[in-house]
Amino acid sequence: MDAPKLSVTQLQAGYGDVQVLWDVTLDVKPGEMVCIVGSNGAGKTTLMRAISALVPVSAGRIAVDGADLTGATPARMVAAGVAHVPEGRRLFGAMSVRDNLLMGAYLRPDKAGIAEDLEKVYALFPRLAERQKQDAGTLSGGEQQMCAVGRGLMARPSLLMIDELSLGLAPRMVDLLADGLRRVNAEGVAVLLVEQDVMNALELADRAFVLDRGRVTLSGPAAALADDPAIREAYMGGLAG
Amino acid sequence: MRDWLLLLLLALACSLLPLAGDNYVLRLGTIVAMYAVLAQSWNFIGGLAGYPSFATAAFFGLGAYTSAVLLSYGAPTGLAWTAAGGMACLFAALIGGAILHLKGHYFAIASLAVGEVLREVVNTTPDLTGGGMGMNLPVPKLSVAAAAQTFYFSMLALAALTTAAAIIVQRSRLGFGLRCIQQNEDAANILGVNAYGYKTAAFCLSAVFAGMAGAIYASWVHYIEPPDVFDILLAVKPLVMVLLGGIGTVFGPIIGAFLLIAFEELVWRSFLTIHAAMLGGIIVVLVLFMPNGLLALVRSGLARLRPAGPKP
């Protein structure tokens, strides 16, 4: 069997004295789409930031393609093929859409490949091509999210981590983004998705992990979790049970 | 290419100054060149990386004292000036490790403290630096006119060197990365920019030329003392000049240095008792009416004059 794309084992992390993650174990197989669901403050964003080496890890192990990368630098994680689309998008507002996308390829030396990937991102989200010379700060929320996802893809990742794909966006934009994500995933890029819209997330993903107060409380195939009465009760208000 | 051409023309034009003016004009020219160096230096850390540093005075004073001490032990002038830059750079790398994790106002305050600490260090080491008594430097065996020209050209060459560094950095990977850090450091980190390394590099760049300017200044005035070379105005004025000319641009700091010194000479000297208030007034006007500086104002004016092109 292949080594998992990403494997996180008994991870503990937090900020100073405040521990947020307790023994979190999860994995993402090559080409798989996995989502993490959980309420506010469950540690979803911290988990992503720990994987990206933006938050120090106090115990546990993070491995990419079987290689131990615990305690690496953010640049090392990007080089290993893990791209992070952060919560709130974090674009460079005073830089053009095109420059924002090119910044995603900051660590790559292959100019031809970068130009090729830029065209791929424009093909994926034609809206970005139309607005490539505009400052990123002038885009709508949905377009900014497209730009952020596109910037992540410009690193040519084998695992794309997205923190809140749909938060605060118009339903039509969410559809466009979800569609784009499916296409990216179909090309073999593994996706780890944090999403507050649990229904949407479980519909998109192959597998899901439920994070509650810093611990993984449930995991399994997304379809099975979507039918789990406890999940429906907790995250979907028990509707249509 | 355009920037290099502009720099060359500017340097050539400035080197004609001794033909036109007397020693007073040369003295003024030396001061403008010195502040152009300091403003350009501040622009690396403050303009590109977005870290509001007040450590310029610290680097200037450190350079002045490093060079003065070396000269007092008989080192050749060129070596002493170069060593001053090296010392300031090294110091910035060390101190950067301690304060560059701070952001915004916290960084500003910490960087302000650096110069005050150095001033006290100098005050308490009279054996090496003369302490509060100050330090005399060897007077060059040159005529007054020749000395004035020598220091003018030295400072001018340093200003040109600093600007050349600015042009190179602005187009480099480092410059691109620094602009990203300025806009969103978190995102820069996520994309693999080594933010800490880049900020330290920018801080060192803001130190090395300022240190050399301090060294040349010390040789020029023959006598330095802590309140003079660690003067907080040496940190504030470059910042105002950059804001005046255009933050983050190559030529904004030079334009700002020229304008502020010209303003000082023409206006301030008539209002000696309230000159600090005048500086405060300039800062307020800058922040309120032209936060992006004169260059941006000129550019947007030019854009308005042009016939409207097709909408993008």
What ipTM describes this predicted complex? 0.86
- Minimum distance, in Å, between the CA of residue A239 and any CA atom of chain B: 38
**Closest CA of chain B from A100, distance in Å:** 9
Most confident range, picked from A84-98, B134-148, B255-269 = A84-98
Among partner residues A84, A94, A95, which is closest to B190 by beta-carbon distance? A84
| In chain B, % of residues over pLDDT 70 | 98
B192·A52 Cβ contact <8 A: no
Question: Among A93, A106, A133, whose Cβ lies nearest the Cβ of B191?
Answer: A106
Q: Is the pLDDT of residue B232 over 80?
A: yes
Average pLDDT over residues B262-268: 81
Most confident by average pLDDT, A116-125, B122-131, B284-293: A116-125
Q: How far apart are CA B15 and CA A158, in angstroms?
A: 57
Q: pLDDT tens for residues A178-218?
A: 999 999 999 999 999 998 888 889 999 999 999 999 999 99
Is A106 in CB contact (< 8 Å) with chain B?
yes
> Which token pair is B58?
């610290």
pLDDT at B47: 94
pTM for the full predicted model: 0.88
Q: Which fold has domain A1-81+164-240?
A: Rossmann fold (3.40.50)
Paired tokens of A138: 């002038």
pLDDT band at B290 (very low <50, low <70, confident <90, very high): confident
Does B194 sit within 8 Å of A75, measured CB to CB? yes
Minimal CA separation from B191 to chain A, in Å: 6
- The pLDDT assigned to B308 comes to 52
B190: chain A residues, CB-CB within 8 Å: 52, 54, 74, 78, 84, 86, 90
Confidence of residue B204 (pLDDT cuts 50, 70, 90): very high
Q: Which residue of B has its CA nearest to A74?
A: B192
pLDDT tens across A21-78, in order?
A: 999 999 999 999 999 998 888 999 999 999 999 999 999 999 999 999 998 999 999 9
Give residue-wise pLDDT tens across range B2-38: 899 999 999 998 988 888 778 889 999 999 999 999 9
Q: Is the dihedral of CA A89, A94, A100, A105 positive or negative?
A: negative
Q: How far apart are CA A136 and CA B192, in angstroms?
A: 20
Distance of alpha carbon A86 from alpha carbon A70, whole angstroms: 20
Residue B309 clears pLDDT 50, i.e. is over it? no
pLDDT value at residue A129: 96
Domain definitions of chain A by residue range: 1-81+164-240, 85-156
Q: Is the dihedral of CA B296, B239, B203, B169 positive or negative?
A: positive
Contacting residues for B221 by C-beta, under 8 A, at least 6 apart:
none
- Chain B nearest-CA distance from A74, in A, is 6
CA–CA gap between residue B32 and residue B254 (Å, rounded): 8
- Chains A and B: how many Cβ contacts under 8 Å? 53
What value does the mean pLDDT take over residues B289-308? 75
Six-digit token string for A140: 């709508």
Give percent of chain A above pLDDT 70. 97
